Structure 1
Amino acid sequence: MELFNEWLWRQEYWLPPGITWRDMAQMEDSPLPRDLLISLPLALGFIALRCAFERTVAVPLSKLLGVKDRVRLSVSPAPGLEAFYTKHSRHPAQSEVSSLVKQSGLTQKQVEVWFRHRRNQDRPSNTKKFCEASWRFVFYLISFTAGLASLINTSWFWDQGECWRRYPLQPVEKVHYWYYMIELGFYWSLLLCVSVDVKRKDFKEQIVHHIATIFLLGFSYCANYIRIGTLVMLVHDSSDFLLESAKMFNYASWKKTCDSLFVVFAVVFLVTRLVVFPSKIIYTTLILSMEVFQPFMGYYFFNALLLVLQALHIFWAWLIMRMIYKFLFLGKLEKDERSDDESEAEEEAEDEGEEEENQTSWKKRKVVLDSKLAMMTSSCVLNNLASQRANVCSRMPKSR
């Protein structure tokens, strides 16, 4: 363990050439790696605070805004199908469906419908998704407001070259220390809750984003990349609270408000993530920093994490552009291409749509058939009455 610690904390990995850990320790208000431990209890505190917030604030707010949950059809008891669903797969293959048909005594169609309704029961309700979005909205809004207030009067907010003046021997102000620890604790809480949160289409990308952010915050604090790190956090928070607010109104079916907020979010996201982030943040860490010190391992690692985040920004920007295309040419935002819907929502919706379409088509054909039968019946009745009248008239004596 001692050998591992010596290898991990070698100053060549974390600090520029010519700077030692002793130099950092002698500096007043210097960042120390052990400070990061406070982020773990903060993460647990965020989880507890989130539970209380969702129960006392988010749920009543969802009712006030008119969030409605879809009624899910309950499946009929089928122990064999339930065991397969919970232990093996929620989406059985065709060969597995055939085997389940023999075991359960149901038809293939009944087995497929059972699994579809069973999956729908596990899909999160609009209220649950609203609670998650509202929690993140409150945090990102407070974080962005507090971060902007703490940075707007600093020199490096206006001139990113100031991030490297006397680096890394830069004291850390208390407000920026807590800004770091709170953000780090929040992302730890998101990572710990990922198994119980709504699983979205960009689930894997979200995991990569959380892990990259945690590594980025942790490493940048130890290597005293705190000035540039605060700018990275501020850029991300500037658009995140707009996205979460758009989601909240989407779940409440306030379509016009949701569309307006999404347009604002799209503009802010594309500007901050595709223009400001690479031109102001990545440029200063890749180019301007080398004017102050020679590249070292921490330099490459930090910039690699920033490039991972930029790759995710490009991925999400592509999804957003798809939504803008739908908004301009279809006239409305049907769904959140970025992370609003669960991974299997489209499939379930298509299945339900086909089933409803088949039922509607059958109802239309039934109406037509009923109408034709009625016409035929009416015609037969009239013909019978006419023939009976003709027979009666033929039997009556003709008048002279």
Structure 2
Amino acid sequence: MLQTVSDWLWWDRLWLPSNVSWSDLEDAEGRVYAKASQLYFALPCALCLLLIRCVFECFLAAPLAHVLGVRDKVRLKAEQNSILEQFFIHQAKTPSQADIRALCKKSGWQQRRVDVWFRRRRNQERPKLQKRFCEASWRCAFYFFAFFGGLLALYDKPWFYNLKEVWSGFPKQSVLPSQYWYYILEMGFYISLLLSLTFDVKRKDFKEQVVHHIATLTLLSFSWISNYIRIGTIVMAVHDSADILLEGAKVLNYAKYHRTANATFAVFTLLFMLTRLVIFPFWLIHCTWVYPVELYPPFFGYYFFNVMLMVLQILHIYWAILISRMFYKCIFSKLEGDDRSDEEEDDSEPLKEKHQNHVNGSGARGRANGHAPTRAQ
């Protein structure tokens, strides 16, 4: 049964054009073709990148944060209260007004005090500024080296300048060592991002990030196996170009270089709109949608590859809306942090309430000593 499933899964007509079989893509006459087994190395590569990331964050990013004056905000610790703690852990971190009123009765605290407790307790679980700085620094460094490494692998290739050359001789195109390492590093990086999602800073677009990483890995795997490697390398380079500026703007913003960060973010916004909303759909998807049918009749792999590219494009539109909002803040107000991040809440108490708590405390102590507080008290 497994053999039947394998034969169906690797059926030539699914993934390759008509009159082309997997046997045609076996190494011969000096040609070396991509093989599915070569992608297994992406997993150890991902583990190595996680190790490199730990070293980078500990010995480069953290000292840099110290030099740039990136300090974690002093957080007020939530008071000890077993009733509120049990509710926070087992029921909800953000209680409704009805829940707060019920908790006030159980704990004997005023509503404002319960509100402040939950804000402080939520803040205790949020990632600190230095952690965000280190994560952004790592991603910025990787995208920087990946983008310029991709340019080195592409700058002398004819298909980088003429997209019709992407399909010249397809699918019988020999794979180059530079293409192999570019693919393995990119796949390893996205696998490492999936593995680290649980302990990285959680953002509002967490689910979209998971969809993006899975779609990217699926695209890279399929494009490698089916020899869509030329267009795959161009897609990776186009994506990495804007991501450098995004992570760089975050690093600058966390370091409180707000003007430089805003200028960098403005350039990123323009580059993102150009690469993701213009070049990607009107050049690259056009290249994969129109040019192949001039050579071969459409087949399942052709549709599958283009559908996955459209999934990425939908995510690009979603992020373009978020980025537009952030750009508006950058121009007309003040951009701090990442609009996708779960920002810290104000957990301070108003002076009036602090004074009232102090008076209530004094009154309680006075009654405990057998007399009421005087006006002077």
Same fold (TM > 0.5)? yes
Number of the residue aligned with 1:115: 118
Q: Which amino acid aligns with 1:81?
A: L
Number of the residue aligned with 1:2: 3
Q: What displacement does 1:213 show?
A: 0.4
**CA–CA distance in 2 between the matches of 1:6 and 1:83?**
54
What's the CA shift string for 1:275-307, capped at 9, x where partnerless?
A: 111121000100011111111111111101111
Matched, 1:239 2:232: no
Number of the residue aligned with 1:23: 24
Number of the residue aligned with 1:258: 261
Matched, 1:211 2:214: yes
**CA–CA distance in 1 between the matches of 2:180 and 2:305?**
19
**CA–CA distance in 1 between the matches of 2:252 and 2:272?**
19
Greater mean alpha carbon deviation, residues 304-313 or residues 126-135: 304-313
Query: What 5-or-longer segments of structure 1 have no aligned partner?
Result: 364-400
Matched, 1:319 2:329: no
Number of the residue aligned with 1:333: 335
Q: What displacement does 1:105 show?
A: 3.5
What's the CA shift string for 1:72-103, capped at 9, x where partnerless?
A: 10112222322322232211233433443344
**CA–CA distance in 2 between the matches of 1:39 and 1:233?**
16
Number of the residue aligned with 1:137: 140
Pick the aligned partner of 2:47 from 34, 44, 47.
44
Number of the residue aligned with 2:313: 310
Greater mean alpha carbon deviation, residues 80-89 or residues 266-275: 80-89
**CA–CA distance in 1 between the matches of 2:192 and 2:209?**
13
Q: Answer with 1 or 2: which has the greater Rg.
A: 1
Number of the residue aligned with 2:280: 277
Structure 1 stretches of 4+ moved >6 Å: 360-363
Q: What displacement does 1:223 show?
A: 0.7
What's the CA shift string for 1:162-183, capped at 9, x where partnerless?
A: 1111111100001101100110
Number of the residue aligned with 1:169: 172
**CA–CA distance in 2 between the matches of 1:190 and 1:323?**
24
Number of the residue aligned with 1:396: none
**CA–CA distance in 1 between the matches of 2:330 and 2:115?**
34
What's the CA shift string for 1:313-352, capped at 9, x where partnerless?
A: 1121222222333333x25434533x3x22xx2xx54x65
Greater mean alpha carbon deviation, residues 91-100 or residues 184-193: 91-100
- Tell me if structure 1 keeps the 8 A contact 2:248–2:264: yes
Q: What displacement does 1:361 show?
A: 10
Q: Secondary structure of 2:204's match?
A: coil
Q: Secondary structure of 1:196's match?
A: coil
User: Aligned pair count?
Assistant: 352
What's the CA shift string for 1:351-392, capped at 9, x where partnerless?
A: 65xx66x548999xxxxxxxxxxxxxxxxxxxxxxxxxxxxx
Alignment of 1:42-121 (within 5 A): 42-121=45-124
**CA–CA distance in 2 between the matches of 1:218 and 1:88?**
41
**CA–CA distance in 2 between the matches of 1:251 and 1:323?**
15
Number of the residue aligned with 1:267: 270
Q: Which amino acid aligns with 1:10?
A: W
**CA–CA distance in 2 between the matches of 1:270 and 1:360?**
48
Shift of the 104–7 alpha-carbon distance from structure 1 to 2, 3 Å rule, reads farther
**CA–CA distance in 2 between the matches of 1:144 and 1:323?**
24
More helix by share: 1
Shift of the 72–182 alpha-carbon distance from structure 1 to 2, 3 Å rule, reads same
Report percent identity of matched pairs: 47
TM-score (normalizing by structure 1): 0.84
Q: What displacement does 1:25 show?
A: 1.6
**CA–CA distance in 1 between the matches of 2:208 and 2:352?**
39
Q: Which amino acid aligns with 2:20?
A: I
What's the CA shift string for 1:244-263, capped at 9, x where partnerless?
A: 01000111111111011111
Q: Secondary structure of 2:273's match?
A: helix
**CA–CA distance in 1 between the matches of 2:139 and 2:281?**
25
Query: What 5-or-longer segments of structure 2 have no aligned partner?
Result: 356-377
Q: What displacement does 1:110 show?
A: 2.5
Q: What displacement does 1:2 show?
A: 2.3
Greater mean alpha carbon deviation, residues 212-221 or residues 111-120: 111-120
Number of the residue aligned with 1:11: 12
- Tell me if structure 1 keeps the 8 A contact 2:167–2:292: yes
Q: Secondary structure of 2:109's match?
A: coil
Pick the aligned partner of 1:156 from 149, 154, 159.
159
What's the CA shift string for 1:129-150, capped at 9, x where partnerless?
A: 0000000011000000110011
Q: Which amino acid aligns with 1:29?
A: V
Q: Secondary structure of 1:281's match?
A: helix
**CA–CA distance in 2 between the matches of 1:7 and 1:108?**
63
Say what the alpha-carbon RMSD is for the aligned residues: 1.9
Number of the residue aligned with 2:204: 201
- Tell me if structure 1 keeps the 8 A contact 2:33–2:174: yes
Q: Which amino acid aligns with 1:114?
A: W
